[in-house]
Structure 1
Amino acid sequence: MKILLTTLNSKFIHSSLALKYLYNNIYDIADVSVREYTINENLQDIFCDIMSENYDLIAFSTYIWNVEHILKLCCDIKLANPYTKLLFGGPEVSFESIDFMKRNDVVDYIIRDEGEIVFRKFIRAYEDKSFENIESLTYRKNEEIIENVDAKPIENLGMIRGAYDIFDENSIKDKIVYYETSRGCCYNCSYCLSSVTKSVRFFPYEKVISDLEKLVNLGAKQIKFVDRTFNYDKKRTIDLIKYLCTLDNGSINFHFEITAHIMQDDLLDALKNVRQGLFQFEIGVQSTNKQTIKAVNRIDNFDELSKKVRKIKSFGNIHQHLDLIAGLPYENLDSFKHSFNDVMALEPDNLQLGFLKMLKGSPINSVVGQFAIKYRNYAPYEVISTQFLSYKDIFLLKDVESVLEEYYNSMTFNYSMKFILSKIGNDYFSFFERFCKFKKENDYNRNLSRDDRFYLLFDYARSFLSDKNIYFFKELLRFDYLLMGRNRVIPEFLKNDTCKLNLQTKKDIIADIDFSKKFDINSEIKNINSAINIELFDIDIEKFDKENISEKKESYVVFNYFGAKNFRNIVNFYVY
């Protein structure tokens, strides 16, 4: 039997952790291949590539972002060859599997929840189709769909082969690599599928550190831990953090989902002096409305979370990504604005404004009627309205999300946004709401060019900033523009005629700077002019950068463009 394990990832830079686990746990008993695609590829091209081989069984890893694409693909596969058997697995089909198979007759088998052990049993039983005793399997038998009992969670995770025991080394270099040190969740948030599997189980510690060393040495760009609460076990977390520091090669980044309010002081102490960019934290807030938090069975302490987030912020070395969810019970528009302002006041590096998704199997489905939750009946099952938020409120929040992503989360406007937000008081939501209104009223379309996006922010800022502040803001906007990378031709509206740098001054500055010390540049590069740019500003860039103080002063700023297209998280400018 010839088997294909496949999926459609959301982006090319992503790779499937699930397929790696499945492959490593059946390769010794089956003729199996792995092929990964993305949802952005042409389905006809994917279909042709898959059908170029004569597979007996094709197994798909399905999620809310790819299931619709996969179903279309499977219809074509079945039309081309009705004898090809199709198996689905993953969170999108782990609940309501009988209904899913009734609606989609192209699906022959479903493996629910953890698949490593179940899939191996399934392969062994495939020849004689003796599936009766395989737990967590849903399958067709004649005209009937049979759903076997659920398997218990794998208690000893050391008994399964790891995702990175055998893998293509080329799939690691310069990629985002997903990894898990544990499974399960200690919390019961009703909107999350992790609440269904309550027990937290850990992979053997020695196995974890061995895998991580291997992945870093192979040149992974980022290792993204998918543990639901990475810092659940306090001692283990500190040990892992300290170990990861020993793997720092100057470019690796580790991303975690953490629960901030339970972070202990000794863990914070371990983070104080780590390299900037080594760690990245994702922290779920979801809402600061206490009634909302209680209604979704979430355990949180926003006051304590705020203290920890501010403490980490003071270190200046860790990117913090905070999350909010719109559409939760008891969160009307005014309440959500309050939650938004509470979180923005913490000055996160990224604020993700997400929308409630009614995932199959999540406990929140039981209160759909109680809270008049209306949502799309197809993936990703996103909320349309609730008892507390009208569909027009959702539209507004969608517009705010779009502007927030473009101007705050993109990290393209770091300095100009930092300045403008310091001038508006604490009502951050109203700033973005007014921005959306200004954009529509002034006919800015959705597909703006890079320069148009800069002009839009400038145009909006001058509609309410004083002349003095707009002058300072414009200089910072020019600074942000030049931070994007090499060969930037400054737009006319950003030019400052009083800040013209003559050629001799530029030569003198170049001659005076030891670039190998100021920047991570090989001192032997032949043409330093191609790697750097020098600009004159009317404001004290250094003081604003370090102390957030706005003062006028001539500043010569040297930008290092060597070897990097996007260096927003790296210090690549020097004030001369």
Structure 2
Amino acid sequence: MNVICCTLNAKYIHTNLAIRYLKAYAAPEFNIQLKEYTIKDPVINIVSDLYQQKPNIIGFSCYIWNIEETIKVVNMLKKVDPAIQIVFGGPEVTYDTIEWMEKTPNVDFIVMGEGEYSFKQLLTEMSGDCNYNHVHGIAYRKHGQVKITPQMNKLDLKELPSPYRFFEDKAHLGKRVTYIETSRGCPFSCQFCLSSIEVGVRYFDREKIKDDIRYLMANGAKTIKFVDRTFNISRSYAMEMFRFLIDEHLPGTVFQFEITADIMRPEVIEFLNNEAPKGLFRFEIGVQSTNDYTNELVMRKQNFDKLTRTVTLVKDGGKIDQHLDLIAGLPEENYASFRKTFNDVFELRPEELQLGFLKMLRGTGLRLRAAEHEYVFMDHSPYEILSNNVLPFDDILRIKQVEDVLEKYWNDHRMNHTIEYLVTRVFPSPFDFFQEFGTFWDDMGWSRIGHQLEDLFRRLFSFLENRAVNDLDTITSLMKYDYLINHKYKPRKPWWEQGTNKQTRVGIYKQIIENPLLLGQDFLNLGLDEKDMYKHTMIEELNFDLAVYLETGLIDNKLCYLVAYFDPGNKGTLIYSFTGSKK
């Protein structure tokens, strides 16, 4: 019997952990082939590849991001080979299962919930007596009627075999994200989240997990993401794992975790700030809303003061990047309330702020009670909301404009100094900056066309010029600094129209060549001759003392010359500056 477990990932760099658990659990009785594609791959290419394997059974792992394309693949497969048995599983089809069976006639079976044992049971019956009512937690058809069998008790996770030891995965470990779980379930009951449906938290065997991580690192894994819904729910467990990862990590490896920030103890953060190498860990923190009434309605317990303490302590430690999540469209959070939520969280200055929109996931309490808040949402995945009783579609569109420029101008960190100046000194609040700029961006039609790095600077300048901000010269100077510090090579044509004039540049170069200490000992140590100076540096005028600004954050009114040295060894840009008068 030729069995394939398959999925369509959102991106090539992603891997699917579920199908690997299915393969590991089914062995040695069944030898399962793994096949992964992306939702961007042409359907005909996926079908052709699967068809050429001559499978008897194909199991598809289904999620909100791939269900539409997966159904297209299955419908085409059944046309070219009706004998292939199709099995669906995963969170997207675990709920409303009868509905899925009725609207996808080409799907022969659906495995509901935790699938390792049920899928193996199903394969056993498919290769034997086909008595499917003996299989736990599946949907199938009998005499044209959909039948549902009861699900079994949860598995003992300590008994599950490792899903990480397949030879065919080795070559890809360094190129893709490796997902690992040390627990299943969540202690919280947030009504917008599928994890709230399973009561309690179950853990895998700690020593087996450590051995798996050692194996993954030894075979080239660089990004390992823990998919536990609340990694730090057990303080002792989290500390043990942090200690292990700090002690045994290999250079270049990064570990990502989803943590609940308001329950993290200060002594844990102190330990990480003292012991963890910079860049080893990355935290993802779901804030979602700072509106207490909203959190109460979705049964979400959150102490924002303690969350702020955690995020601030971690940020002050300078070791761990933080990704904070917001959800627009939660119950009773209108536009003004969401503006406050955004500003509350942006005040923490996370390295990345993810602005998402509520998705009415099948099986969640919020979807089941959608009428209470007059939710209108997409009929198809990802079931994103279109409006509710306090947030009309017009306001959702406005928040989407914020999301667009937030991603380009904050999360990508192309002009940190400029954005910091704008959100603290020019606009009433961070949200107001991103909203005004996002609306301008949309009105100009830029959301429908591509952009290069220079375009981002030009478009921000155009917006600020159109708004007639008072201190545009200062902002332009900050933009020049941001632009140059992020370059590894000397730009041929910077985004600004005119730079320092040739006569001034010649005069400044002459000063520097005659007295390299003008820019400090570090510059003198570069040992540049006149030819190197002209070839590898740029000089630009700023209207404030850059050295004072970088040390204190203060903007003065002194003329300053910025000298950017672009290392020909491609090691980055070095910035030097000195104040003076025009020559």
Q: TM-score, normalised by structure 1?
A: 0.90
- Counterpart secondary structure, 1:476: helix
What amino acid is the match of 1:556?
V
Question: Which sits farther off after the overlay, 418-427 or 90-99?
Answer: 418-427
In structure 2, how many angstroms separate the alpha carbons of the residues matched to 1:262 and 1:6?
A: 38
Please give the residue correspondences for 1:269-308 in structure 2 after superposition, counting only pairs within 5 Å: 269-273=270-274, 274-308=276-310
Count how many residue pairs are aligned between Structure 1 and Structure 2: 556
Structure 1 residue 205 and structure 2 residue 206: aligned? yes
Q: Percent identity?
A: 33
Alpha-carbon contact 1:345-1:426 (below 8 Å) kept? no
Question: Which sits farther off after the overlay, 432-441 or 194-203?
Answer: 432-441
The alpha-carbon distance between structure 1 residues 542 and 104, as it changes in their structure 2 partners (threshold 3 A), is farther
Partner of residue 247, structure 2: 246
Structure 2 residues not aligned, in runs of 5+: 527-531, 577-583
Please give the residue correspondences for 1:165-204 in structure 2 after superposition, counting only pairs within 5 Å: 165-167=165-167, 168-204=169-205
| CA offset digits 1:216-268 (Å, max 9, x no partner) | 23222311111100111101111211221224444222111111110102211
Structure 1 residues not aligned, in runs of 5+: 519-528, 565-571
What amino acid is the match of 2:305?
D
In structure 2, how many angstroms separate the alpha carbons of the residues matched to 1:37 and 1:275?
A: 35
- Counterpart secondary structure, 2:186: coil
What amino acid is the match of 1:402?
D
Partner of residue 529, structure 2: none
Shift of 1:377: 1.0
Partner of residue 496, structure 2: 493
Please give the residue correspondences for 1:532-547 in structure 2 after superposition, counting only pairs within 5 Å: 534-537=537-540, 538=542, 540-541=545-546, 544-545=549-550, 547=552
Partner of residue 480, structure 1: 482
Partner of residue 220, structure 2: 219
Partner of residue 341, structure 2: 339
Alpha-carbon contact 2:500-2:539 (below 8 Å) kept? no
Alpha-carbon contact 2:458-2:495 (below 8 Å) kept? no
| CA offset digits 1:372-413 (Å, max 9, x no partner) | 011111111110110110111111111111111111112222
Shift of 1:441: 4.4
In structure 2, how many angstroms separate the alpha carbons of the residues matched to 1:509 and 1:48?
A: 65
- Counterpart secondary structure, 2:4: strand
Structure 1 residue 550 and structure 2 residue 555: aligned? yes
- Counterpart secondary structure, 2:53: coil
Partner of residue 96, structure 1: 96
In structure 2, how many angstroms separate the alpha carbons of the residues matched to 1:563 and 1:153?
A: 53
What amino acid is the match of 1:279?
F
- Counterpart secondary structure, 1:36: strand
Partner of residue 85, structure 1: 85
Please give the residue correspondences for 1:96-175 in structure 2 after superposition, counting only pairs within 5 Å: 96-127=96-127, 128-154=129-155, 156-167=156-167, 168-175=169-176
In structure 1, how many angstroms separate the alpha carbons of the residues matched to 2:74 and 2:132?
A: 23
Choose the corresponding residue for 2:472, options 465, 470, 490. 470
Please give the residue correspondences for 1:386-405 in structure 2 after superposition, counting only pairs within 5 Å: 386-405=388-407
Alpha-carbon contact 1:475-1:494 (below 8 Å) kept? no
Alpha-carbon contact 1:241-1:270 (below 8 Å) kept? no
What amino acid is the match of 1:120?
K
- Counterpart secondary structure, 1:6: strand
- Counterpart secondary structure, 2:434: helix
Shift of 1:31: 3.3
Structure 1 residue 263 and structure 2 residue 268: aligned? no
Shift of 1:449: 2.2
The alpha-carbon distance between structure 1 residues 292 and 324, as it changes in their structure 2 partners (threshold 3 A), is same
In structure 1, how many angstroms separate the alpha carbons of the residues matched to 2:516 and 2:221?
A: 37
| CA offset digits 1:421-447 (Å, max 9, x no partner) | 221365221111111232244454531
Alpha-carbon contact 1:5-1:33 (below 8 Å) kept? yes
Alpha-carbon contact 2:488-2:570 (below 8 Å) kept? no
- Counterpart secondary structure, 1:215: helix
Structure 1 residue 414 and structure 2 residue 416: aligned? yes
The alpha-carbon distance between structure 1 residues 178 and 426, as it changes in their structure 2 partners (threshold 3 A), is farther
What amino acid is the match of 2:245?
L
Partner of residue 5, structure 2: 5
- Counterpart secondary structure, 2:383: coil
In structure 2, how many angstroms separate the alpha carbons of the residues matched to 1:267 and 1:279?
A: 13
Question: What's the Cα RMSD here?
Answer: 2.8
Choose the corresponding residue for 2:317, options 303, 315, 318. 315
- Counterpart secondary structure, 2:93: coil
Structure having the higher helix fraction is 2
Partner of residue 355, structure 1: 357
In structure 2, how many angstroms separate the alpha carbons of the residues matched to 1:294 and 1:16?
A: 34
In structure 2, how many angstroms separate the alpha carbons of the residues matched to 1:218 and 1:473?
A: 47
Alpha-carbon contact 1:242-1:270 (below 8 Å) kept? no
Alpha-carbon contact 2:565-2:575 (below 8 Å) kept? yes
What amino acid is the match of 2:105?
D
The alpha-carbon distance between structure 1 residues 208 and 492, as it changes in their structure 2 partners (threshold 3 A), is closer
| CA offset digits 1:439-479 (Å, max 9, x no partner) | 24445453142122211111223445756x42332233223
The alpha-carbon distance between structure 1 residues 335 and 309, as it changes in their structure 2 partners (threshold 3 A), is same
